[in-house]
Amino acid sequence: MTGTPAGRRESADPRHPAPPAGQSAAGRPAGAQVWVGLAAAVAIMLSGCTAGGTDVPAGTAPPPSGGTATPGLEGPTPAVTRTGVDRPTLAEKIDAELQLPWSTVFLPDGTAVISERDSTRLRTIAPGARNGRAGTIGTVPDVVPGGEGGLLGLALSPDFANDRYLYAYFTAARDNRIARMRLEERGGTLVLGPSEVIFSGIPKAATHNGGRIRFGPDGLLYVGTGDSRRTEQPQDVNTLGGKILRITPEGRPAPGNPFGDNPVYSLGHRNVQGLAWDSAGRLWASEFGPDVDDELNLIVPGGNYGWPAVTGAPRREGFRDAKVVWPSTAESSPSGLEIVGDTAYLGALRGQRVWAIRLNGEFAGDPVSYFTREYGRIRNVSLAPDGRLWVLSNNKNPDFVLVLELPE
Ligand SMILES: [Ca+2]
């Protein structure tokens, strides 16, 4: 199943190693292939100047004069710049004995609530807990784990203090769906209320289930889906696979969506598992590529991000180029995404590292990586209320949390 453009799993088969940097992806014109390779080469030469950086793939940096991004025509002369990202430091490793954790949200009192994919449990880690085992709230009903599916993304209602709603994206018997449950505190114990499905029908498969959900600054729920290996879906706005969706807290298509009364917000995605907003309210998303071209994208409503016609940044009319392309998925395979200040952080599964990318308006600098292969596969990164970054491992042995102190 692996080794085909539509079939790479999160855990890419080592028998099918990714091609070297700069190798052509499906549909990439020769010119783009050359500059990606050239940019990577220049970036590697410059990487010695980058504090703590160890690996620098091709990024799309602002052109020297700046400028406005145009779909498929971004920057006449891609330049390579330093990112200026200082090294995060490890403040704490919480050996909480988690089993395949997927997503973290923080309650108003600082308690972390973490989903476990296969056990379908919701775990808790109290603020200040040091090497204590995680508590368990309960399991989410109707989850049917399998392959990459199971209990995936979590989100807290923007009005959680009043409505107490916890949202969860999960794989059920026939589809991927989103439910909400009230998370009440009774006598110092968190109690999960009945599950109310608010959105269903997202296609499921053994791989490419998407799964990230997050409320945006507009109070609407954004949903990253996967193509579920149905490669005809990402380019069809009337299907839910390979999309970023935007819905109301009740599960209706958000008013003002680009395709009318339709939950689709952007299309042409392969497997979106990271969503985050920058300080100006721009939405960015991470995405698994096939054997090549993992991506960080700047999302605009109605934008078409290419899959399966193109990957990466081929400057093909009608498609939006990725802002950062990792030609070698062995170095990345990004899942969770968080933006802190002007820096985007990504957790890399196969790449087994945390990537940091300095954002500059609509442009992204060159990624630098930290903790490479020190802690295994990384599933998610989430900003905690105290300003530190919580990193979830994905190693099954069991899993843990890394708490990172971020540079000023
Ligand atoms: Ca793309």
pLDDT tens-place values along the chain, 408 residues long: 333 334 456 754 333 333 333 333 333 333 332 223 333 333 333 333 333 333 344 444 333 332 333 333 333 333 334 456 788 999 999 999 999 999 999 999 999 999 999 999 999 999 876 666 799 999 999 999 999 999 999 999 999 999 999 999 999 999 999 999 999 999 989 999 999 999 999 999 999 999 999 999 999 999 999 999 999 999 999 999 999 999 999 999 999 999 999 999 999 999 999 999 999 999 999 999 999 999 999 999 999 999 999 999 999 999 999 999 999 999 999 999 999 999 999 999 999 999 999 999 999 999 999 999 999 999 999 999 999 999 999 998 899 999 999 987
Between the CA of 119 and the centroid of ligand 1 the distance, in Å, is 32
Q: How far is the CA of 313 from the centre of ligand 1 (A)?
A: 7
Distances (CA, A) of 357 to 51, 107, 365: 13, 27, 6
- Give residue 221 CA to ligand 1 midpoint distance, Å: 22
Q: How close is the Cα of 114 to the center of ligand 1, in Å?
A: 29
- Distance between Cα 18 and ligand 1 center (Å): 17
Q: How far is the CA of 101 from the centre of ligand 1 (A)?
A: 27
Provide the pLDDT for residue 133.
76
Q: How far is the CA of 404 from the centre of ligand 1 (A)?
A: 30
Distance from residue 233's CA to the centre of ligand 1 (Å) = 14
Distances (CA, A) of 104 to 113, 138, 156, 253, 344: 6, 15, 10, 25, 17
User: Residue 268 Cα, ligand 1 centroid: separation in angstroms?
Assistant: 7
Total domains, the chain: 1
Query: Is 14 among the domain residues?
Result: no
Write out the H or E segment, with its range, that includes residue 77. none
Q: Are 311 and 26 spatial neighbours (Cβ–Cβ below 8 Å)? A: yes
Instruction: Using the mean position of ligand 1's atoms as its centre, give its distance from the Cα of residue 315 in Å.
Output: 11
Cβ-based neighbours of 372, under 8 Å, separated by 6 or more: 54, 55, 351, 352, 353
> Nearest 5°: phi and psi at 190?
-85, 130
Within a domain: 307: yes
Q: Which residues contact 403 (CB under 8 A, 6 or more apart)?
A: 90, 91, 92, 93, 94, 384, 388, 389, 390, 391
Asked whether residue 11 is domain-assigned, the answer is no
Cα-to-centroid distance, 357 and ligand 1 (Å): 18
Residue-range definition of the domain harbouring residue 302: 30-405
Rg (CA), the chain: 20
pTM metric for this prediction: 0.83
- 24 inside domain: no
Residue 169, in any domain of the structure: yes
Q: Please state, as a whole number, how many other Cβ atoms lie within 10 Å of the Cβ of residue 378.
A: 28
User: How much distance in Å is there from the Cα of 340 to the middle of ligand 1?
Assistant: 24
Ligand 1 center to 362 CA (angstroms): 16
Expressed in angstroms and rounded, the spacing between residue 267 Cα and the centre of ligand 1 is: 9
- pLDDT for residue 29: 31
CA distances from 53 to 20, 69, 120 (A): 20, 27, 36
Calculate how far, in angstroms, residue 106's C-alpha sits from the geometric centre of ligand 1: 31
How close is the Cα of 82 to the center of ligand 1, in Å? 24
CA of 266 to the centre of ligand 1 (A): 11
Measuring CA to CA, how many Å separate 72 from each of 25, 47, 322? 16, 27, 9
In the block, residue with structure tokens 């989430």 = 382
Q: What is the pLDDT of residue 59?
A: 44
Report how far Cα 59 is from the mean position of its chain's Cα atoms: 17
**19 belongs to a structural domain:** no
The token pair that represents 305 in the structure block:
């991000």
What's the 125 CA to ligand 1 centre distance in angstroms?
Answer: 36
CA neighbor of 125 nearest in space, from 110, 138, 140, 139: 110
Q: What is the pLDDT of residue 264?
A: 98
Ligand 1 centre distance from Cα of residue 322 (Å): 6
Write the CATH number for 303: 2.120.10.30
Is residue 198 assigned to a domain?
yes
Q: Let me know if residue 394 belongs to a domain.
A: yes
How much is the pLDDT for 130? 63
pLDDT at 14: 35
Determine the distance separating the centroid of ligand 1 and the alpha carbon of 270, expressed in angstroms. 8
CA 205 vs. chain centroid, Å, equals 19
